[in-house]
Amino acid sequence: MKAPEMLARIRENGAIPRHIAIIMDGNGRWARERNLPRPLGHRSGMKSVREVVEGAIEAGVEVLSLFAFSQENWQRPVTEIQALMSLLEEYIAREADELATQGVRVQVLGDLARLTPAAASAAATLIERTAHNDRLVLNLFISYGSRAEIVRAAQLLAEDVRAGRLAPADIDEERMAERLYTAGVPDPDLLIRTSGEQRISNFLLWQVAYAELYMSPVLWPNFRKHELFAAILDFQQRDRRFGRVTA
C-alpha cells in the first residue's frame, strides 16, 4: 500500500495518536553497510526527520518527539560529537524556514548547557522563531536522559518543599509531571523505535508508562512517511485499556 492510501485509511479509522515519540536508531549501521563514515549516516537521517514531520502534520498528530542525542552519546569519539553538533546547526539553518511556514513549534529539550555555543545559539533562535506556531509541536531531545530528567524534577520538588512552597504530602504525579521537560504536552500515545532494536534506551521513562510500542526493523535513514503511517495504522488496531477491562 502506498503512503497516500495509508493516509486515507488512517483518516477513516479515526483514532490518531496525539503524541508520537521516536527513537531514531540505525544511522551508524546504515553507514557501516555502505562503508561510509558514521557522520554520513547521521546526515542521511536528516531526510527522515523532514519526512516524519511532514507525515505527522498530514496525519493530524499534535506532538512529535524525536530522540536526537542522548547524554550517553557524549561518550562517543570527539570527532563524531563535533559532527553531530554541526549537523544540528545545519538542520536548523536548512529547515527553519520550512518549519516556520508549516506552523511547527519547536522545543529543544535536555541538558542544553553541554551544547557547543554555536549549536545552543542556533537552537535558541529556532525556538524563538517558531514559538507562536500551533500546528505541530516538535520536541527535539538533545543531551537528554530520562533518569537525569526525573532526578532533576525531584530536585525541583525538594527545593519547593524546602522553600515552603509545597508540602511533601502534596507531591503527586501531576506535580512531578509539571517539573519534567515535557510539562504542558500530553504523554506519548505511541513510541516508535527504528532499526529493529527492542529497547527504550532511557527515553521518556515516566511519560511512556502507557504508550503503545512499535519496533520497526527499518534503519532510521530509510524511515519515510510510509513507515510512519504503518506504525499509526498498527496503533489504530490496538486495544488501549490503561489497566481497565474492555466493556
Percent of the chain with pLDDT over 90: 87
Give the pLDDT of residue 79: 87
Give the pLDDT of residue 174: 97
Domain assignment present for 149:
yes
pLDDT band at 28 (very low <50, low <70, confident <90, very high): very high
Q: What CA–CA distances, in Å, run from 166 to 41, 58, 175, 184, 206?
A: 47, 42, 10, 20, 22
Domain count, the chain: 1
Domain assignment present for 120:
yes
Among 13, 25, 160, 234, the active-site one is: 25
Place of cell 529543544: 108
Active site residue 73: yes
CATH of the domain at 66: 3.40.1180.10
DSSP string, 8-28: HHHHHH----SEEEEE---HH
Percent of the chain with pLDDT over 70: 98
Give the pLDDT of residue 1: 85
Among 13, 27, 35, 73, the active-site one is: 73
pLDDT digits (tens, 9 = 90+) for 191-221: 999 999 999 999 999 999 999 999 999 999 9
Range of the domain at 224: 18-235
Rounded mean pLDDT of 107-117? 94
Domain assignment present for 242:
no
Domain assignment present for 2:
no
DSSP-based three-state secondary structure for 240: coil
pLDDT digits (tens, 9 = 90+) for 118-138: 999 999 999 999 999 999 999
Rounded mean pLDDT of 17-44? 95
* Position 109 pLDDT exceeds 60: yes
Active site residue 139: no
Give the pLDDT of residue 53: 98
Residues 49/98, Cβ–Cβ less than 8 Å: no
C-alpha cell, 162: 524546602
Residues 22/53, Cβ–Cβ less than 8 Å: no
Domain assignment present for 79:
yes
**The length of the chain, given as a count of residues:** 247
Residues 28/194, Cβ–Cβ less than 8 Å: no
Give the pLDDT of residue 245: 57
Domain assignment present for 247:
no
Partners of residue 144 on adjacent β-strands: 70
C-alpha cell, 73: 552519546
pLDDT digits (tens, 9 = 90+) for 50-85: 999 999 999 999 999 999 999 999 998 888 898 889
Could you give the CA distance from residue 190 to residue 66 in angstroms, rounded to a whole number? 12
DSSP-based three-state secondary structure for 163: coil
Mean pLDDT lowest among 12-16, 183-187, 234-238: 12-16
Residue 20's contacts (CB-CB under 8 Å, 6 or more residues apart) are 56, 61, 63, 64, 65, 188, 189, 190, 191, 192, 228, 231, 232
pLDDT digits (tens, 9 = 90+) for 139-193: 999 999 999 999 999 999 999 999 999 999 999 999 999 999 999 999 999 999 9
